Structure 1
Amino acid sequence: MNQKMSLTTLGLSGLIALCSSVQAAGESLRLGIEAAYPPFAFKTADNRIQGFDYDIGEAICAEMKVQCEWTEVEFDGLIPSLKVRKIDAAISSVSITPDRLKSVDFSNSYYRLPAKIAHRKDSGVQAIPADLAGKRVGVQRSTNFDRYATDYFEPAGAKIVRYGNQNEVFLDLLAGRIDVTLAGSVAIEEGLLNKPEGKAFEFVGPSYTDVNYFGMGAGIAVRKNDPLAGRINQALAAIRSNGTYDKIRSKYFAYDIYGE
């Protein structure tokens, strides 16, 4: 009787272990991303998501031994999607700012770059914010760039024009419907300045690094008190140490963007 019970218990334990292993092997991580911010995230001709953020997310999933499940979300919908549990994490160049830390937690930073202003070379904008009076400043809605422009450029007389994504900003800048844009330096380089149609444009003014607006680098957002942040940090540290991060970075940038 005892031997039969032991065998039954042993068999049940083995079955539970097998089920747990299968469950772990099939675990997924639902990641939200806005695929309209090259080179960090964009769509290819065959409608696939690519970019630095996407590749880092895939590398993190591989390190965690989970399956990435990607969901496209407009930037201003990422944190709301986290809160209602449509996604588990957002990896979409989301800056770690004091304001955002009130509602979500973040992984460690995985890159850090300044914000810059770009304008047409003959726009006459030099002194900032004085020369922005009467100018139309294009920003992506609900971003740290939007907040900074609203707080500093609008009081100086600038008109803030908000868009759903940065690609729309560039289109209107090229068409002359706005005068300048405030955005991440690399996004401006890759999305405008390095393209043939961007030859008439350049950076103007200082780099913007105020942590209250531009944060402590870009991090992966998760829900408050979610232990997932710790697992992501472990995976980030691993891909930094094993060379995966630098391999991905070199696909998109010729210089280090990790920061301090």
Structure 2
Amino acid sequence: MISKVTAILFATAASAISLSPAHAQEAIKIGIDASYKPNAWVSPNGELTGFEVDLTKAVCAEIKENCEISNVPWDGIWTALDTSTIDMVGTTVTVSKTRLEKYDASRVIYKVGYAFLVPADADISGGIPSLKGKSIGTIVGTEPYYVYIKAMLGDDTDIRGYDSPDAAVLDLDAGRIAAFMNDGQQLQYQFISTGKYKLVEKPNFDSKFVGAGRAWFFRKGSKELVDKFNKGLDAVIASGKLDEIGMKYLNTKFTTP
């Protein structure tokens, strides 16, 4: 009888240890839009993979935090952050004044340029000005893209928003839009590399459009969490891990501010 009581007490104690804060660390919830290969996509076995996924995992490992990464579509990712469904937007997002007024941001991770994509047989002898008066596609809700298109082609430009690059390019192929505007890095990897498309001009890196670069975003008042992730990013960048992940998925090394 005594041995049975002892066994029960031991099992109860062991259970308490496993549920203590040290062993039951609350996960940091991170949302990544997995519709932008090679940045992030869902593999055939259902797992999230890609540049942004690996970078997030590398930083979480560096800061020794339990991170829960989930696929959150772009059109709902900010609502998920606002409602605390997630704690961080793990899709790297362009830093803009408007976003910084509403959210906290990590350090800038890397910079990209903006560009217009057209079919390989399109006449682009007139450069970007030749797109004036035509319908232009871009990613819905991405304010800096809309600002750039209007600055290049006029405030009255017919801008059509899409949930993903693939959806936009389907309309480009069908002739429903004249060009698709997005970041040059994404366009190069996903579309130019196929030989079916080309850029109207080289990507534009003017900071008045592309801003300081791309970062991760958090709810306002998340200074402690931001500082923690910045420390992890600094370590990952200094170790060369960012370049390693960049070469793996994008065949490029990043220049970071």
TM-score by length of 2: 0.84
Deviations 1:213-252 (A, max 9, x none): 4221110101112121100000011112233222212201
Could you tell me how far 1:256 is from its partner in structure 2?
1.7
Tell me how far apart the structure 2 counterparts of residues 194 and 206 of structure 1 sit (CA, whole Å): 15
The answer to whether the 8 A contact 1:53-1:92 is kept is yes
The answer to whether structure 1 residue 52 and structure 2 residue 48 are counterparts is: no
Could you tell me how far 1:42 is from its partner in structure 2?
1.3
Aligned residues: 239
Tell me how far apart the structure 2 counterparts of residues 112 and 161 of structure 1 sit (CA, whole Å): 25
Residue of structure 1 in register with 2:60 after alignment: 61
Tell me, what secondary structure is at the counterpart of 2:20?
Answer: helix
Deviations 1:38-95 (A, max 9, x none): 2111122223211111111111111121222122222232222212111010011211
Could you tell me how far 1:122 is from its partner in structure 2?
3.5
Structure 1 residue corresponding to 2:236, chosen from 228, 234, 239? 239
TM-score by length of 1: 0.83
Tell me how far apart the structure 2 counterparts of residues 193 and 59 of structure 1 sit (CA, whole Å): 29
Deviations 1:6-25 (A, max 9, x none): xxxxxxxxx99x934224xx
- Superposed CA RMSD in Å reads 2.2
Residue of structure 1 in register with 2:71 after alignment: 72
Could you tell me how far 1:101 is from its partner in structure 2?
0.4
Give the % identical residues: 26
Pairing of 1:1-260 with structure 2 (within 5 A): 19-23=20-24, 26-127=25-126, 129-143=128-142, 144-150=144-150, 152-155=152-155, 158-195=157-194, 199-226=195-222, 227-260=224-257
Tell me how far apart the structure 1 counterparts of residues 42 and 146 of structure 2 sit (CA, whole Å): 24
The one-letter amino acid paired with 2:216 is: I
The answer to whether the 8 A contact 2:129-2:152 is kept is no
The one-letter amino acid paired with 2:210 is: F
The one-letter amino acid paired with 2:98 is: D
Tell me how far apart the structure 2 counterparts of residues 117 and 223 of structure 1 sit (CA, whole Å): 32
> Runs of 4+ in structure 1 displaced over 6 angstroms?
none
